[in-house]
Amino acid sequence: MKYFTTVVSTLASVGFVRAHVAAFTKGMYCLNGTEPGVENLNTNSVVNPLFQLPKNQWWMQHDRGCDSEQVAPSPGDFLELPAGGSFTVELASNRAQSTLSYDGKFTSEWPDGKDHPEDWHSPSPDTCLNANPDQAGGAMHTRNESTAAGTAFAISYNSDLSKVTMENLVVFTVLEQYVLRRDE
């Protein structure tokens, strides 16, 4: 499964991921995309790369407005992080490829919602997945599962997003090589 499930060692409220694959969950900012009041089932707002931007633009995805209270989670929508427990989010390249859209009919075991071989890998050691004839998987910038990037979740004991800083965020769980299929 492409779900991220992990043991939580503490309790808190802010998580973030940066890649061409993002963690989708009700409790996230920009779940509906960036237009307040409009539900975009096909949004990749939180997935688009943060590239060549000053910190005040990339921090909390300010460049696309995902730090705005106008695109905050609906009241009552939280990602619960029970102390000592586990939580699950869906790693996908687009909300459409998660169960949060279209009854999950565009999901698969992979973040792009397509089917791929168990040992999906690039044709040669110096190329990425998208060098294969189907050209798929380019967003992951990897050769295979063992060279794929990981995910980290961090928490900050602040309920005001603007008070969250690099200094008061603490990483509480990581998953190596999240972008490809989970092994479990």
Ligand X SMILES: *[C@@H]1O[C@H](CO)[C@@H](O)[C@H](O)[C@H]1NC(C)=O
* CA distance linking residue 19 with residue 150, whole number of Å: 9
Task: Give the CB-nearest residue to ligand X.
Answer: 39
Please name the residues in contact with 126: beta carbons below 8 A apart, sequence gap of 6 or more. Answer: none
The number of residues that bind ligand X (CB under 6 A) is 11
Find the binder of ligand X among 125, 135, 167, 183 (CB under 6 A): 125
To ligand X, the closest distance from the beta carbon of 132 in angstroms equals: 14
From the number of C-beta atoms within 10 Å of its C-beta (0-12, 13-18, 19+), residue 30 rates as: buried
The DSSP element (H or E) to which 22 belongs, if any, is strand 22-24
Find the binder of ligand X among 74, 86, 88, 168 (CB under 6 A): 74
By the rule CB under 6 A, 121 interacts with ligand X: yes
To ligand X, the closest distance from the beta carbon of 109 in angstroms equals: 17
Q: What x/- string results for residues 5 through 44 when contact with ligand X is judged by CB under 6 A?
A: --------------------------xx------x-----
Using the structure block, give the residue that is written with the tokens 């300010």.
62
Other beta carbons within 10 Å of 132: 17
Q: Which residues bind ligand X (CB under 6 A)?
A: 31-32, 39, 73-74, 121, 125, 143-144, 146-147
